[in-house]
């Protein structure tokens, strides 16, 4: 999948060994596995709108699920079942393109983060190239956001210290609660 951009992006996320992390739009579960490695005593939860992705993620992370270190749920980021102030970090790899009502989703992410928690967004496209326009024409329900738009939405949701990292067309954003 999107491993190079995910590996690059993860360096911008500092996690305690026992961190509680939520991976939004967890897809096939590869990044859940990376996050579990990054916090060996931690807990990683995944959420994805697609039942197919949820099943894939569960298969890939079977061992961690059996140990009680991982849970994968089907659901929408716009309306999550988690309690307030629950996670040290929330990650979103290659997924915000598909979130309906981005401002509402960011408010939900803000709600479930602990005070001082971090959101990490990693995108392979930053909206600056013609190639990006092609993708949005091919894939229905996809919106590619420029970094400035994402920063505005994040700040409106209450995040501060929004930092933007770029490499080629890649975009990684960190924001704090």
Residue pLDDT, tens place only, 35-78: 999 999 999 999 999 999 999 999 999 999 999 999 999 999 99
What pTM did the predictor assign? 0.93
43 forms beta bridges with: 20
118 forms beta bridges with: 89, 176
45 forms beta bridges with: 22, 71
**Residue 142 has what pLDDT?**
81
**Residue 127 has what pLDDT?**
73
**Residue 125 has what pLDDT?**
82
**Residue 100 has what pLDDT?**
86
**Residue 2 has what pLDDT?**
58
Q: Provide, rounded to the nearest whole percent, the portion of the chain with pLDDT above 70.
A: 92
- Strands, sheet with 70-74, edge to edge from the N-terminal-most edge strand: 70-74, 43-48, 20-24, 87-93, 113-123, 170-176, 160-167
pLDDT digits (tens, 9 = 90+) for 140-172: 778 888 899 999 999 999 999 999 999 988 999
The CA–CA distances, whole Å, from 118 to 21, 40, 63, 111 equal 10, 18, 26, 12
Mean pLDDT, residues 30-39: 97
**Residue 132 has what pLDDT?**
62
Domains of the chain: residue spans and CATH: 3-176 (3.40.50.150)
Measured CA angle at 161 (ends 75, 149), to 5 deg: 60
Neighbours of 68 (CB within 10 A): 8
pLDDT(130) > 90: no
Mean pLDDT, residues 77-103: 95
**Residue 68 has what pLDDT?**
98
């Amino acid at each position: 999948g999107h491993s190079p951009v995910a590996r690059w992006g993860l360096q911008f996320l500092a996690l305690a060994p026992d961190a509680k992390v939520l991976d939004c739009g967890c897809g096939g579960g590869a990044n859940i596995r990376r996050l579990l490695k990054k916090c060996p005593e931690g807990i990683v939860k995944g959420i994805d709108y697609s039942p197919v992705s949820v099943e894939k993620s569960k298969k890939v992370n079977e061992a961690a699920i059996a140990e009680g270190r991982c849970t994968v749920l089907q659901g929408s980021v716009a309306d999550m079942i988690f309690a307030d102030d629950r996670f040290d970090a929330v990650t979103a790899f290659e997924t915000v393109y598909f979130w309906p009502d981005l401002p509402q989703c960011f408010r939900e992410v803000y709600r479930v983060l602990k005070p001082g928690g971090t959101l990490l967004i990693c995108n392979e496209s930053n909206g600056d190239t013609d190639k990006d326009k092609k993708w949005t024409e091919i894939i229905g329900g996809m919106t590619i956001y420029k970094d400035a738009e994402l920063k505005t939405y994040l700040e409106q949701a209450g995040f501060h210290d929004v930092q933007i990292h770029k490499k080629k067309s890649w975009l990684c954003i960190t924001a704090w609660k």
